[in-house]
Amino acid sequence: MLNPKKISSLYSQVAEELNIPESDLTDIVSFYWSQVRKSMEGLNDANINVENFGTFTVKPKALRAEMYKCEKFINSVNPKDFTRYPYYKVAKEKLERFNIISAKILEENLRKKDKIDQRYGNNIS
């Protein structure tokens, strides 16, 4: 049976191996993961590669659902209504980001299809 280690013991062991203060190591690790979290939340790209964990990909179906929600909200709100304008503006910005990501996903899918066509010919669908 595996016994999980506490993160604090790992920090001290790694800091000792690298000959750096433990506080510096915790700062580096927290900075790295905060940047990963920001890139996931910000939807700056369709794929995010985290070393030793793999590639995280935006799901097209979930993206379409979020785009639909934003479009529905934007169409239901009058942009000249000052009480709801901040929400309208955020929804517009989200929809723009979603459209960019959607285009990147489509571009990536076309690139993959072209690679398959080059490798195996046009007979495979």
Pairwise CA distance, residues 20 & 59, whole Å: 40
- pLDDT category at 86 given cuts 50, 70, 90 is confident
Whether the per-residue pLDDT at 2 is higher than 80: the answer is no
Q: How many CB atoms lie within 10 A of CB 91?
A: 19
Q: What is the DSSP string of 59-74?
A: -HHHHHHHHHHHHHHH
Q: Is 14 helix (H, G, I), strand (E, B) or coil?
A: helix
Per the listing, tokens 């993206």 go with 63
Pair 40, 48: CB distance under 8 Å: yes
Q: What percent of the chain has pLDDT over 90?
A: 41
pTM of the model: 0.68
Question: Residue 72's pLDDT is what?
Answer: 94
